[in-house]
Structure 1
Amino acid sequence: MTVSVSLGAPRPSHPRRRDVLAYLSASVAAFTLAPAVRAQTPQATIASRMGDGQRFDSATLTDIARQLSKKPFVQPPNDLPDVFSNLNYDQYVSIKSLQPPIWSMEGRGIALEPLHRGFVFANAVDLFLVEDGAVRRTGYDRSQFNFNGINVPNDLKDIGFSGFRLISHPAEGKPFEFAIVQGATFFRALARGQNYGAIARALTLKPAEAKGEEFPVFRAFWIERPSIGSTSITVHGVLDSESTTGAVRMTFRPGDMTIVDVETTLFPRVNLEHVGLGGMASTYFYGPNDPRDADDIRPAVYESSGLQMLNGQGEWLWRPLQNPETLQISAFVDNSPRGFGLLQRERSYETFQDDDQRFERRPSLWIEPLGEWGQGSVQLLEIPSDAEINDNILAYWRPKAPMAAGSEVSFAYRQYWGWNAPERPPLATVSGTRVGRGNGGRRRRFTVDFSGDMLGDNWPTDLKSVLTVGPGVFQNLKLLPYPERKTVRVAFELDPGNENACEMRLILEAGGKPISETWLYRWTP
């Protein structure tokens, strides 16, 4: 079941990814810790329990998160020197490390590069290396960076880091960067040969609510040194926010498909009514189903083409993404989902014809829950955007039951970052959705293409399309087979009448059984 919500007047723009982080930085900058409070900071608690020179123990890390949850939330200190907080984007990315990545000369298969603070990445996060069971803090040294003309004081103290990147150094083949963990609880990954696109969130709290979204932050990371020739690396973190704390374990396995296992235990400070698990954000600016009268030489601009879901009943669902005129929230009610994700199905240069962004190389991100997640819904937020750099798409699993204050809640899932999801529907899949002006009034014309081997030369003669619309009505429904392309096109017109939102559901059937995934779509003016 899909629950639809359309909220408010048109919004001119969704905050950019960098603007969201700037908001976080601004909120931090407005808070200055007094010396008496500073001694009780989360960083002090972390250092006393699992700091430099101590033995690493994952149970202790979980207990640190539990201990922090029993204390009021403390904003990170405002201690970033102006020379870095006032940088623009180009200045920030010009800062280069002069040191080889950590472990890159040891043949361990994976290396680590700490990331400088600056621009909107104002918050400091402690980076601890775990080597032979011992914890060693990674300290900052200005002499290890080339600032490319930025006037940095020679006596700069240890200001820490904003996050880190991970690089694969295989015994054979070229090294490639496969993940960045930086900003709030955001992280990105990709498969070999791809460009960064979708961004994951370790935790999503209260998105699109009137009081504003809450952005948890990572306080510290413990990164386990890989063994010689390793193909994986494990990262532990402590997250913190006004509403909850948590302990997170992430195991990265880079390759032709990069897999990340995420295990999280939350300790809510308050009752959590709106929590997002397996959250991810992406960009959809325009495409064939949502052209928006774009005055652009490119035929399409988007990082992800749709939301794929495999629900608890084993039904495959496909929801093309849109850039709507008003905020759209969809809830796909389910029980124990088997998977969901934002996928990039378009892999040809001709689809985008963008020589810089290469959207056809952006990763698909698929979430596979580990264990039973119970009742809830996959939530999709489509936010109006007037620029392609905005992350205006957000998807996550929202549990139906609140998480009670003082409780301990654990969950786990596996992420697949790559060219395709780890498994494809054993059915015909949607290969194209196009929308345009209909025959008068508010009518809209739709074509939906389904492709698959079963639609080739021996396509079923009793094939039929099953389309439902509510509210509104459809007219001129046609089924157009193209066996030479192993494709069937369904064409129809939507007459919304006076309605401002119409939900549509379309599937191909033969022999009384589905032979395609289910196409879902919401039309809005």
Structure 2
Amino acid sequence: MRNVAVTSYLKTSGSFAAYATLKKSAMLAFGVASLFSAQAVLAFDFNDVSQEAQELAQRGYTAPQSNLPGSLAGLNFQQYQQIQYKPAQSHWRSDNLRFDLGFFHEGMHYNTPVTINEVNGDDVQELKFSPDNFNYGNLDVDKSKFKDLGFAGFKINYGDNPDKKNESMVFLGASYFRVAGQNQRYGLSSRGLAVDTGLNSGEEFPRFKEFWVVKPQGDDRYLTIYALLDSPSATGAYRFILRPGQDSVVDVQSRLFLRRQVTKLGIAPLTSMYLFGPEQPSNDSNYRPAIHDSNGLQLATGDGQWLWRPLANPKRLSVDTFPANNPRGLGLLQRDHDFGDYQDVENRYELRPSAWIEPQNSWGDGQVELVQIPTPDETNDNIVSFWRPTQELPTNQPLDFNYTINWTLNESRYHTPDLGWVAQTRRARGETVQDNLVRKSDDSTLYVIDFVGPNLKSPGSNDNIQADVNAGDNGQIVRSEVTRNPAMGGYRLKLSVKANDTSKPVNMKAFLKNGDSRLTETWNYVLPANE
């Protein structure tokens, strides 16, 4: 569990009345079809949660009220971790399904309950909280006083063996959710919506206040979850279809209703952590060469361009934007997956997945925004990315944004094979080799960028591989050199730069080409001011 460095810590969802089962007869009368032909007619679907969201938007916002007793409100993280849902009580545990559900107790900053319903054919039932279904470890608490609490969130377990299912997806806190595929560890998080991230006015955290989970049939390998989002600025209806696997996939259908114009509306937001790495080595002695859940932002624009921005832990708040009308894809990626990249036995950062987002409808004109926040340690999620519409959005009609999130350790499968990509970025002091072979600093900053990809293994016998480099108005290119990297099966660019004015940043871009033919995505990095 990490802090969110954008603002004060997360606030969880407020309760919302369970969906009335009396609606099922009306639903059946209209013959509402399932989202999948294999599924039975349901008492609840996306249109229902959309109607709930629209009606909610027409009413004034009501902030949720905490119902947390002091004995739970004062827990620290280690104490809260002692409260665990009993595996034997997992919902659907005895139904011979590939999925079952576990739940999270209120406590710490999770101080308001969410309502969780089960949709089973033509029936909708709220899942009730009971303290008897939780273990409280060594905590000195009287659980009999917790009977009027509720769930803080829930987790989805998946597997063929009812006694050895793996945790696959978690909804816990505001509109946050995490997903892990086979042999992956939880890393970065996704969110339903981001509002005013990185503004001095403060960030608003929309929250999922109610869920409806569709009970799967015996052979189903997917799970459908509906969610109702609420915030002072917007409401929303969401449908998540989780398909666990080696790469777990979540299909997201979202419909937003604005209560007011929003300065920054962040669609498909991702939240991650970057402390240090080869791109930005640690200033302190550390046996670990890198600590991060993601090391770069990848963007595929609507006009076919591919961009890679290595992440940073800046000295001050950094907000960067990238034009992206109707983007083909965007995401925060963890491109390093060797244990040696991290040397961390406990946290296993090499097993943290990337999240690659592919829009499934037209998003219109907009830009991708990358917010990077200073952090002194790895307990803070200090990286946020999202797509932001640039046109003014109507407050009197629904806004649909649909997309697929791929959680993967195999990033190359989501990259075009026609272009190479950045395998690693390394930063060091720039230097020259003197006549006596002793290296001497030349006051520049050296970047070593390795490009790999199928098209770089054999670019042609008459190849003339060069770098197209741009250091902007404030950058001076001291030297640029491209060499073959036989160890990685690609090419290495060594780029030394200086700032003309050290009080201003240097915005660098580079890609490889063979004559007039582009060979790679664009590497884009910023040398901060006063560095």
**TM-score (norm. length: structure 2):** 0.88
Q: C-alpha displacement at 1:153, in angstroms?
A: 4.1
Q: CA, structure 1 residues 138+484, in 2 after alignment: closer, same or farther (shift >3 Å)?
A: closer
Deviation at 1:441, TM superposition (A): 7.0
Q: 1:18 and 1:514 mapped to 2: Cα distance?
A: 38
Residues 109 and 230, structure 1, Cα contact 8 Å, conserved in 2: yes
Q: Does the CA contact (< 8 Å) of 1:375 and 1:400 recur in 2? A: yes
Greater RCO (CA < 8 Å, at least 6 residues apart): 1
Cα distance change of structure 1 residues 481 and 172 upon mapping to structure 2, 3 Å threshold: farther
CA distance in 1, matches of 2:211, 2:358: 24
The residue type paired with residue 132 of structure 1 is G
What are the within-5 Å matches in structure 2 for residues 353-432 of structure 1?
Answer: 353-421=343-411, 422-426=413-417, 427-432=419-424
Which of 11, 21, 41 aligns to 1:24? It is 11
Could you tell me how far 1:457 is from its partner in structure 2? 6.3
Provide closer, same or farther for how the CA distance between residues 404 and 454 of structure 1 changes in structure 2, counting only shifts above 3 A.
Answer: closer
| Distance in 2 (alpha carbons) for counterparts of 1:442 and 1:329 | 27
1:82 deviates by 1.6
Equivalence for 1:504: 508
- Taking the aligned partners of 2:283 and 2:490, their CA distance within structure 1 comes to 28
Whether 2:322 is the aligned partner of 1:332: answer yes
1:285 is displaced (CA, Å) by: 0.5
Question: What is the CA–CA distance in structure 1 between the aligned matches of 2:275 and 2:518, rounded to whole Å?
Answer: 32
Out of 471, 486, 490, the residue aligned to residue 489 of structure 2 is 486
* Distance in 2, Cα, partners of 1:18 & 1:293: 21
Distance in 1 separating the partners of 2:403 and 2:456: 34
**CA displacement at 1:507 relative to structure 2:** 0.8
**In the TM superposition, what is the alpha-carbon distance from 1:100 to its structure 2 partner?**
3.0
Corresponding residue SS for 1:251: strand
Q: How many residues align?
A: 493
Instruction: Choose the corresponding residue for 2:471, options 448, 469, 472.
Output: 469
Q: Which amino acid aligns with 1:147?
A: Y
Q: Give the equivalent residue in structure 2 for 1:210.
A: 200
CA–CA distance in structure 2, aligned partners of residues 424 and 173 of structure 1: 37
Inter-partner Cα distance in structure 1 for 2:323 and 2:255: 24
With 511-520 and 99-108 compared, the bigger mean Cα shift is at: 99-108
Measured against aligned partners, the alpha-carbon deviations of 1:483-523 in whole angstroms (never above 9, x if no partner) come to 35312111121011214211111111114111111111111
Q: Secondary structure at the match of 1:163?
A: strand
State the distance in 1 between where 2:285 and 2:409 align. Answer: 29
Distance 1:172-1:457 versus aligned 2 partners, 3 A rule: farther
The answer on whether the counterparts of 1:303 and 1:359 sit within 8 Å (CA) in structure 2 is yes
1:155, 1:332 → 2: CA distance? 52
**Among residues 500, 519, 523, which one is paired with 2:523 in the alignment?**
519
Q: In structure 2, what residue type is equivalent to 1:480? A: T
Q: Is the 8 A contact 2:444 2:478 kept in 1?
A: no
- Contact residue 53 and residue 135 of structure 1 kept, 8 A: no
Q: CA deviation at 1:196?
A: 0.4
2:490 maps to a residue whose letter is T
- Distance across 2 between alignment mates of 1:145 and 1:218: 23
CA distance in 2, matches of 1:164, 1:63: 24
Given that 1:312 and 1:336 are in contact with CA atoms closer than 8 Å, whether structure 2 keeps it comes out as: yes
Q: Aligned residue for 2:50?
A: 62
- Would the aligned equivalents of 1:250 and 1:260 in 2 still touch at CA under 8 Å? yes
Contact 2:10–2:205 (Cα < 8 Å) also in 1 = no
Q: Tell me, in whole angstroms, the C-alpha distance in 1 between the residues paired with 2:277 and 2:9.
A: 29
Change (3 A) 1:437 1:265: same
Give per-residue Cα distances to partners, 1:407-433, cap 9 Å, x unaligned: 311111000011124422312221111
Distance across 1 between alignment mates of 2:424 and 2:517: 22
Match of 1:300 among 290, 295, 298: 290
Q: 1:84 aligns with which of 56, 72, 75?
A: 72
Secondary structure in 2 aligned to 1:213? coil
Q: Quote the offset at 1:384 in angstroms.
A: 1.0
Instruction: Please give the residue correspondences for 1:234-245 in structure 2 after superposition, counting only pairs within 5 Å.
Output: 234-245=224-235
Residue 280 of structure 1, CA deviation? 0.2
**AA aligned opposite 2:480:** L
Letter in 1 for 2:423: S
CA contact (8 A) 2:49 2:238 kept: no
Q: Structure 1 pair 483/22, CA: closer, same or farther in 2 (3 Å)?
A: closer
Q: Secondary structure at the match of 2:405?
A: strand
Greater CA drift, 112-121 or 336-345: 112-121
Which consecutive unaligned segments of at least 5 residues does structure 1 have?
1-14, 29-40
Check the 8 A contact 1:170/1:229 in 2, yes or no. no
Q: Quote the Cα distance in structure 2 between the aligned partners of 1:372 and 1:183.
A: 29
Counterpart in the other structure of 2:40: none
Given that residues 305 and 342 in structure 1 are in contact (C-alpha distance below 8 angstroms), is that contact kept between their aligned partners in structure 2? yes
Moved more, 173-182 or 508-517: 173-182
Give the stretch that moved more between structures: 200-209 or 326-335: 326-335
Segments of 5+ residues of structure 2 without an aligned counterpart are: 25-42, 432-440
CA contact (8 A) 1:111 1:169 kept: no
Q: Are 2:105 and 1:101 equivalent residues in the alignment?
A: no
8 Å CA contact retained: 1:446, 1:493 = yes
Note if contact 1:113-1:166 (Cα within 8 Å) is conserved in structure 2.
yes
SS in 2 for 1:130: strand
Q: Secondary structure at the match of 1:350?
A: helix
Distance 1:509 1:332 in 2: 22
Q: State whether residues 320 and 521 of structure 1, in contact with CA within 8 Å, keep that contact through their aligned partners in structure 2.
A: yes
Give the superposition deviation at 1:296.
Answer: 1.1
C-alpha contact 2:189 2:272 (8 A) present in aligned 1: yes
2:267 counterpart SS class: strand
- For residue 276 of structure 1, what is the aligned residue in structure 2? 266
**Shift in Å, 1:53:** 6.7
What's 1:443 paired with?
444
Task: State the distance in 1 between where 2:332 and 2:487 align.
Answer: 29
In 1: Cα distance, 2:58 partner to 2:389 partner: 24
Q: Against the structure 1 CA distance between its residues 447 and 494, is the aligned structure 2 distance closer, same or farther, given a 3 Å change threshold?
A: same
Letter matched to residue 469 of structure 2: L
User: CA contact under 8 A between 1:273 and 1:402: conserved in structure 2?
Assistant: no
Aligned match of 2:122: 133
TM-score, scaled to structure 1: 0.89
